[in-house]
Amino acid sequence: MKYAIFVVLALLLAAIAVANPFILEPAGFLAFVKRAAPLVILAAGQYFVIVSGEFDLSVGSLVTVEVVVAARLIDGNEAATWPVLALLIALGLLVGLVNGVVTALLRVPSFITTLGMMLILSGAVFLWTGGAPRGALSQSFRVFGRDTLWAVLITLAVGAAAVLLTRATYGRTLIATGDNERAAALSGVRVARARILAFVISGLAAAIAGIMLGGFAGVSAQVGQGLEFSAITAVVLGGVALGGGRGSVVAAMGGALTLEAMFTLLNLYGISGALEYTVQGVIIVAAVAAGAVQLPRLFITPRKGDAHAS
């Protein structure tokens, strides 16, 4: 049940294979994984934020910023690749830190914090580029997103790290915080710190996804557009409860693969790419509604204490 999403994924892949059997060959499947890699990584990062009971809407803009900044700073110069990579990672961590601190310490709802961050970053990119990004990425930068082996290895590494983190002390306390913040705090969990770290992880994931997308999709001011919603849809599709406390990161990443498979299938049958947003919208609402149907049961459980409360 926890991993039901992989059954859906298998069915979708089978449906794709009917029209295009190439996907069942190793090369075809790996190409699919490469295409899905940025979304899988974003979903892994988004998982930590969602399971703690928050949202991160800023990751799409952050991806765009990463790519645009990389192109301008590298500007075709191979020697600049590694310092810029380090800078991009630092930028992702910093944006996450700001999101986390504003949400956890200033108690601004994360929906607002990260929506604000999304607008700030979008505006900043526009201001800096004047609408048309300049510069070019280096070959050694583009290899991460373009080369199948690199992309698959990075995805596997991020996935493994995410799984280890959810099983570690940090992950367990974060999930408990998302489930019942008060109980966690009264058990000595540093609730604010755990949440801030979740946003930092999401920022880091966005930086990595941005680096890969730059190589894969090239430089444009639209490269990250809508990715925050795709990432949230993927996580929800993986059965992770909005509101926190429930769901696995493996299923969240499975949700990303499933969403990518859905897009592929739509493409294959010649349905307009514009429908992608519609599909995501239906998935988010349907998944949350399905989750909400079970909620009332919690409230009607008879509480033995009630009869005696005075």
Query: Where along the sequence are the contacts to another protein (CB under 8 A)?
Result: 169, 172-173, 175-176, 179-180, 182-190, 245-246, 298, 302-310
CB closer to another protein out of 51 and 98: 51
Q: How far is the CB of 225 from another protein (least distance, A)?
A: 34
Give the DSSP per-residue string, the chain. Answer: -TTHHHHHHHHHHHHHHHH-GGGGSHHHHHHHHHHHHHHHHHHHHHHHHHHTT-----HHHHHHHHHHHHHHHHTT-GGGHHHHHHHHHHHHHHHHHHHHHHHHTS---HHHHHHHHHHHHHHHHHHHHTTS--S---HHHHHHHHSHHHHHHHHHHHHHHHHHHHHSHHHHHHHHHHH-HHHHHTTT--HHHHHHHHHHHHHHHHHHHHHHHHHHH-S-TTTTTTHHHHHHHHHHHTTPPTTSS---HHHHHHHHHHHHHHHHHHHHTT--TTHHHHHHHHHHHHHHHHHHHHHHHHHHS--GGGGG--
Q: How far is the CB of 168 from another protein (least distance, A)?
A: 9
Q: Using CA atoms, how far apart are residues 248 and 241, in angstroms rounded to an integer?
A: 10
CB closer to another protein out of 3 and 277: 3
Q: How far is the CB of 246 from another protein (least distance, A)?
A: 5
CB closer to another protein out of 132 and 307: 307
CB closer to another protein out of 107 and 304: 304
Q: How far is the CB of 203 from another protein (least distance, A)?
A: 24
Q: Using CA atoms, how far apart are residues 3 and 251, in angstroms rounded to an integer?
A: 6
CB closer to another protein out of 85 and 194: 194
Backbone phi, psi, residue 63, to 5°: -60, -45
Q: How far is the CB of 167 from another protein (least distance, A)?
A: 11
CB closer to another protein out of 189 and 268: 189
Q: How far is the CB of 302 from another protein (least distance, A)?
A: 6
Q: How far is the CB of 104 from another protein (least distance, A)?
A: 16
CB closer to another protein out of 134 and 172: 172
